[in-house]
Structure 1
């Protein structure tokens, strides 16, 4: 049998995806994991803390990728790096869309969740901020145009990924563009506005 912490994360991931974060109580998560609610709180300070650990440990990794790119921006070409970011961000938002969307049905829970997430130093703005930092590093290295608005470029890329997740989750909508086509197309389009202009 898996350790209690792993079972709790598995149960939380499953319940948050199927019934939504709002309805997945710590009592229900503990019951699904086969442990007591007290045991859950030995490993996680709150449901918000548990949610963040589900994002970090059970879903496609977005934050570490952006940190790695910022620390080592010259590993590949900028456009190739942006394709990698779009692929990972699209997978991340697709995996988290149903979990996060359920919060908006209950404003009081959304407010408590936002307060808890902010207290833990996280929030939905972090991927955009991290991508903008990476793009600023590329701008300083001269690999994107000097006047590039990195905040706008980051918002465009992440917004496209979130919109794709919404369309994929919406019942009866047209099939979304396959990720192998979507990622390079979005990266190429955004990079076209960032590319340094030839001198002269």
Structure 2
């Protein structure tokens, strides 16, 4: 079997290690070893562990940011509820898969601070999905599909907060399984939110 390109092996190894031992305890040396290359070879592709973490987020995890950017630019022909259902589904998957990666940072405040500084330097961070969803909801508001008095930023925080909570709470339960399916969760969150923010036609 033909071996995968070095960069692909590095990102795959980073994803696997970050998910099993956490971002804080994953080193570039261990990533390189798992990828079957030297640490020097790793640095030919990535300047830091933070840059490699961003590659894992963007290339190996559910694409939440891309979906939000697309919908903000063009809400499309689907209903607000349909769009929010897809956003909730992708967000729940995204946080479910990223929570085990970043949770270890909270045990090491200095490392967490360095990581956050690096993310700001790259123009990234956990606030970006909230900003993206807020932009989408404001776009829908301009199109008249969301009530003028609705608060897009609060609605974005409610939806994404529910998705984070799902990942956090059920990760700590014995069987790590929520009581409802991902699709049922996404539909319920979207239906409840749109009932509060969408224009009434009756």
In the superposition, the TM-score normalised over structure 2's length comes to 0.95
The residue that corresponds to 2:158 in the other structure is 156
70-79 vs 18-27, greater mean Cα deviation: 70-79
User: How far apart in 1 are the matches of 2:176 and 2:57?
Assistant: 28
**Post-superposition offset of 1:94:** 0.5
Partners in 1 of 2:37 and 2:177 — Cα distance? 40
Q: How does 1:1-200 map to 2 (within 5 A)?
A: 1-172=3-174, 175-176=177-178, 177-198=180-201
Per the TM alignment, residue 98 of structure 1 is displaced from its structure 2 partner at its CA by 0.3
CA distances 1:125-147 after superposition (whole Å, capped 9, x unpaired): 00010000000000000000001
Looking at structure 2, the residues matched to 18 and 151 of structure 1 have their Cα atoms a distance apart, in angstroms, of 34
When normalised by structure 1's length, the TM-score is 0.96
Partner Cα separation in structure 2 for residue 42 and residue 94 of structure 1: 31
Q: Are the counterparts in 2 of residues 26 and 47 from structure 1 also a CA contact under 8 Å?
A: yes
- Is the 1:167–1:173 Cα contact (8 Å) retained in structure 2? no
Rounded to whole Å, the distance in 2 between the matches of 1:36 and 1:174 is: 36
Distance in 2 between residues matched to 1:35 and 1:148, nearest whole Å? 53
* CA RMSD of superposed structures (Å): 1.2
Structure 1: distance between partners of 2:101 and 2:11: 14
Which consecutive unaligned segments of at least 5 residues does structure 2 have?
none
Task: Give the match's secondary structure for 2:97.
Answer: helix
How far apart in 1 are the matches of 2:33 and 2:92? 32
SS in structure 1 of the partner of residue 76 of structure 2: coil
CA contact (8 A) 1:21 1:103 kept: yes
Distance in 1 between the 2:13 and 2:74 partners?
36
**Deviant stretches of 4+, over 3 Å:** none
Residue 178 of structure 1, CA deviation: 1.1
How many aligned residue pairs are there? Answer: 199
